[in-house]
């Protein structure tokens, strides 16, 4: 995909674009510690009839590094994305999100449910599924919370800023695990995320995603049980050690229509198995 930039009232954002500019739009939202580059392999296998838009979230990729923690609440990041979508003259669209991008995508779907015609989320909790989320957290807590160590680390004031700067390659590479070491996830993708993490202030702005979580959780508790009205596809990499299977418990209660596709892959399912993920999306979008 090609890259461009857009300035909107909320800030300055980088985005990737491709496909058929006259086709129906698909908006892709990446997670952490990635950028919009994470969709590059998937889009090679998608139907060529779609218009493809993939913004970089605030504080990541090549978008602006805002040193205001309040703007990293996920509902605020969703407002960023809506402004970007509006600025690109997109009215109705399909929406895809992975990891934190999957959370932001859910917030966008709540903010403008009539515009999001279909929703795809990957390896992330469903924010209104309080029962399943509690069951998953109970399991993780029984393990001493170990899978969430990197979240606790980044929540400590100043620690990420002090310890990650100068060590970005070690920090970013770690999270792609064996799939990264063995080339299942292309090294050029990981190098791109390292490059972005070296941009000034990124250890702080990336950490703000985790420092905002206690405020995010309070909001999501108020949304417990709320249903998503649009048809939704959940693509799940079954080897994920952070988004464990219990997060999928009861998700049928919070969607009017939900389809789950399980793929033998880790957390970064769209990077490990792009062809399988694209196939699931093609079938979903064209059904």
- pLDDT, one tens digit per residue, over 199-239 is 999 999 999 999 999 999 999 999 999 999 999 999 999 99
**DSSP state letter for 95:** E
* Complete domains list, the chain, with CATH: 2-285 (3.40.50.1820)
Three-state secondary structure of 121-146: EECCCCCCCHHHHHHHHHHHHHCCCH
From the centroid of its chain, how far is CA 208?
Answer: 15
How many CA atoms, within 13 angstroms, populate the side-chain half-sphere of residue 99?
22
Q: What percentage of the chain's residues is helix, strand, coil (to nearest 5)?
A: 45, 20, 35
Q: What whole-number distance in Å separates Cα of residue 152 and Cα of residue 145?
A: 9
Q: What is the pLDDT of residue 65?
A: 98
Burial 18-35 (b: 16+ CB within 10 A, else e): bbeeeebbbbbbbbbbbb
Query: Which residue in 65, 64, 53, 58 sits closest to 15, CA to CA?
Result: 53
**For the segment 179-191, what is each residue's pLDDT rounded down to a tens digit?**
999 999 999 999 9
Mean pLDDT score across all residues of the chain: 98
**For the segment 2-32, what is each residue's pLDDT rounded down to a tens digit?**
999 999 999 999 999 999 999 999 999 999 9
CA distances from 28 to 84, 104, 120, 184 (A): 12, 11, 9, 21
User: Is this structure's pTM higher than 0.75?
Assistant: yes
Q: What is the pLDDT of residue 250?
A: 98
**For the segment 52-107, what is each residue's pLDDT rounded down to a tens digit?**
999 999 999 999 999 999 999 999 999 999 999 999 999 999 999 999 999 999 99
The strand pairing partners of 17, in sequence order, are 2, 53
């Amino acid at each position: 995909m090609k890259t461009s930039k857009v300035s909107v009232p909320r800030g300055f954002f980088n985005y990737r674009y491709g496909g058929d500019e006259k086709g129906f739009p698909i908006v892709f939202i990446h997670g952490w510690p990635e950028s919009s580059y994470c969709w590059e392999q998937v889009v090679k296998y998608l139907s060529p009839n779609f218009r493809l838009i993939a913004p970089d979230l605030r504080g990541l990729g090549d978008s602006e590094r805002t040193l205001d923690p309040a703007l990293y609440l996920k509902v605020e990041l969703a407002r960023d994305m809506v402004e970007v979508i509006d600025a690109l003259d997109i009215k109705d669209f399909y929406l895809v999100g992975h990891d934190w991008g999957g959370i932001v995508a859910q917030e966008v779907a709540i903010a403008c449910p009539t515009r999001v015609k279909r929703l795809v989320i990957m390896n992330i909790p469903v924010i209104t599924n309080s029962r399943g989320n509690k069951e998953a957290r109970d399991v993780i807590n029984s393990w001493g919370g170990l899978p969430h160590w990197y979240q606790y680390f980044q929540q400590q004031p100043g620690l990420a800023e002090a310890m990650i700067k100068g060590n970005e390659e070690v920090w970013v590479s770690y999270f792609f695990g064996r799939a990264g070491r063995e080339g299942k996830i292309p090294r050029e993708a990981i190098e791109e995320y390292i490059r972005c993490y070296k941009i000034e202030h990124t250890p702080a702005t990336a950490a703000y995603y985790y420092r905002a979580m206690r405020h995010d959780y309070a909001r999501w508790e108020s949304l417990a049980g709320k249903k998503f009205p649009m048809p939704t596809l959940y693509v799940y990499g079954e080897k994920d050690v952070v988004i464990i299977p219990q997060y999928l418990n009861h998700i049928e209660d919070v969607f009017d229509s939900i389809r789950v596709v399980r793929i033998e892959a880790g957390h970064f399912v769209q990077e490990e198995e792009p062809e399988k993920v694209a196939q699931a999306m093609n079938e979903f979008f064209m059904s």
